[in-house]
Chain A
Amino acid sequence: MAELPVTMSVNGERHRHIVEPRKTLADYLREDCALTGTHLGCEHGVCGACTVMLDGVAVRSCLMFAVQAEGAEVTTVEGLAKNGELTPVQEAFREEHGLQCGFCTPGFVVSVHAFLEDNPRPSRDEIVEALSGNLCRCTGYQGIIRAVERAATTMGGAT
């Protein structure tokens, strides 16, 4: 099938590649952009490991094709920290043992960034609900929930 050119901004950098239409955005980020922070667990929408920001909202990068992101702004887990400084969310995951093997972590971190932007002062129930779209096989989730609480406090501390 005809390969197509696609141009998008990834973490503020312009990327242009020729791809097969069937290549998912996740595979594109990992293979063509060499950004392997976006992980692939299930490749059919269930685990959330591949979550990225697409034009400001969190989406599953395994459930769209790279060609669909033509002209879009994509942020992956690599694009969150600025000037080598961890974000409050990343910091909180470290402090609260929100990760063990780290496989699921990029998806959680991106999702939590999006969630706290939307809801800066979440209740515990809201946090649990927001995390329902990401699976972790190691932590038992408690550390992750605490990390979100801590990040919300740190970030809210400014107001």
Chain B
Amino acid sequence: MRKRSAKPPLALPCRPVKPAPFEYHAPATTADALAVLAEHGDEAKPLAGGQSLVPMLALRLTRFGHLVDLNRVPELAGIERHNGTVTVGTMTRQADLERSPDAAAVPLLGLATPLIGHFQIRNRGTVGGSIAHADPAGELPAVVLTLDAQLDIASASGTRTVSASEFFEGTWTTVVGDDELLTAVHFPVWADGAGFAVDEVARRLGDFALVGVVCGVELDGSSKVTRAAIGLLGMGGTPLRAAAAEQALVGTAPTDDELTEIGRLAVADLDPPADIHASTEYRSSVGAHVVKRALRTALERAGG
């Protein structure tokens, strides 16, 4: 152990400590965490895996007077399967979700999670952190929306449950208030024999996707689609559902040409963002192809 003098010598050059100063809170229960949030309002921020928040602090894109570390709240982590639902605690690590036999009942989780960043990121990054962060190109937010998951949100004054369709408000914004925490997410289990696929285009392995699709289909005995859900990521300010394409798919046993058409339909009304990596036109064009490719895979997997 090295001793530190009470006052650092002034002659030392500025140490490379990047984030602005904050007070650190490490509550042991959800109730204690919520109490700190209630006390400090928008001056306080929950710290989950830190894989998005710490870079933003380090780059000084944001600063908070108080960080509320959720990593010491055991009750916020864990995966449980009840009849028709898999419930995932917000602090469940992405790496644990990827390997969980209980989560396997929701195949989209196992398909989407390995595409998040790199294994070192998933060891630390959490399921709820990714969803609450609400990056429009995030995999888990798209899964939440596509499966119509239900999200539990708690504050010091009580708990509410919202559906995925109401949860995402815009880039990096959700309905979770400053004094609230996302505590758990309930993913519905589809019928046996449903087929799922996740497909995305990224510049390098582990990069955020430029365009991505998560989808699920259920078929009847004659290979006709009885249920379809198609979610898009990277195509707008939030994850998006391709409702018109879903409707067009239900009731058909689509041919290859029809799938091409459904791919086009999925992106027809969108105005995807343009950035240095991809233009609006590129995202639309690639998006249509990726929808087709993902649906073909999901249909092949269905019923089998």
Contacts and interface: CB of A to CB of B under 8 A. Distances in A.
A22 B205 contact: no
Interface stretch (A89-97, A129-137, A145-153): A129-137
A1 B66 CA distance: 10
Contacts of A116: none
B contact patch SS: loop
Nearest to A33: B2
B118 A132 contact: yes
Interface residues of B, number: 35
Interface residues of A, number: 43
B280 interface: no
B38 interface: no
A76 to B, nearest CB: 14
Interface in B112-148: 117-121, 123-124
A65 B204 CA distance: 28
Contacts, number: 105
B84 interface: no
B124 A133 contact: no
A124 interface: no
Interface stretch (B13-21, B155-163, B187-195, B217-225): B13-21
Nearest to A110: B120
A18 interface: yes
B51 interface: yes
B119 A27 contact: no
A88 interface: no
Q: Is the interface of A mostly helix, strand, loop or mixed?
A: mixed
A59 B20 CA distance: 22
Interface in A93-130: 111, 114-115, 128-130
B1 A16 contact: yes
Among A15, A34, A60, A130, the one with the most B-chain Cβ atoms within 10 Å of its Cβ is A60
B251 interface: no
A57 interface: yes
Interface of A: 1-2, 4, 14-18, 20-24, 27, 31-32, 34, 40, 43-45, 48, 51, 54, 57-60, 62-65, 67-68, 70, 111, 114-115, 128-130, 132-133
19 contacts: A17-B2, A20-B21, A21-B22, A24-B18, A27-B15, A27-B16, A27-B17, A34-B2, A40-B16, A43-B16, A57-B95, A58-B120, A63-B50, A63-B124, A64-B54, A67-B24, A129-B205, A133-B117, A133-B119
Interface of B: 1-2, 4, 15-24, 26, 50-51, 54-55, 57-59, 67, 69, 71, 95, 117-121, 123-124, 204-206
